[in-house]
Amino acid sequence: DHACTRAVNNCFQYTAYFGVSTNLVNYLKVQLHSGSKAAANSVTNWQGTASITPLAAAFLADSFLGRYWTITVFLLISVAGYGVVTASASAALESAMLFYAGLYLVALGGALQPVLSSFGADQFDVEADEEERGRQSSF
């Protein structure tokens, strides 16, 4: 049950992330009229930000908020980010500033993945029996 929930969440998160990132250079060049170098640089900066933000989420989860609230906050940030990216891509709003704000909210929201994994593993009572330990290991 826990593994299924995590798999579904990962599927949606990765589908959304790669859906945005796959055509990002082309979108920046064609729709936002960036040069090739600037577009590639923007994508690299965004991916770097998305790669480093899990450290901030882990720190918050371990030191201040706990895993549950960290997941909740970063999930809301992620949903808001995808909403802003979608809204900014509409013909009526085509705004570079709004698009970049949404893009970096997506990068920040993606930080929940490692916290979500450890939260899922915590759901098993490994002290209770050997079967739970095996389930946690396969999780």
This prediction has a pTM of 0.76
pLDDT tens string 53-76: 999 888 988 888 988 888 889 889
Q: Poorest-confidence range of 5-9, 11-15, 71-75?
A: 5-9
What is the C-alpha separation between 116 and 27, in angstroms, rounded?
31
**3-class secondary structure, 39:** helix
| DSSP annotation of 91 | T
Percentage of residues in the chain having pLDDT higher than 70:
76
What is the C-alpha separation between 47 and 15, in angstroms, rounded?
15
pLDDT tens string 102-139: 999 999 988 877 777 666 666 666 666 776 666 656 65
Q: State mean pLDDT over 80-91.
A: 86
Report the mean per-residue pLDDT for the chain. Answer: 82
123 and 68 Cβ atoms separated by less than 8 Å: no
Does position 80 have pLDDT exceeding 90, yes or no?
yes
More confident residue, 131 or 82: 82
| DSSP annotation of 42 | H
Q: What DSSP line would sit under 7-32, residue for residue? A: HHHHHHHHHHHHHHHHTHHHHHHHTS
What is the C-alpha separation between 116 and 138, in angstroms, rounded?
16
- 58-78: buried (b, 16+ CB within 10 Å) or exposed (e) per residue? bebbeeebebeebbebbeebb
Q: State mean pLDDT over 85-102.
A: 82
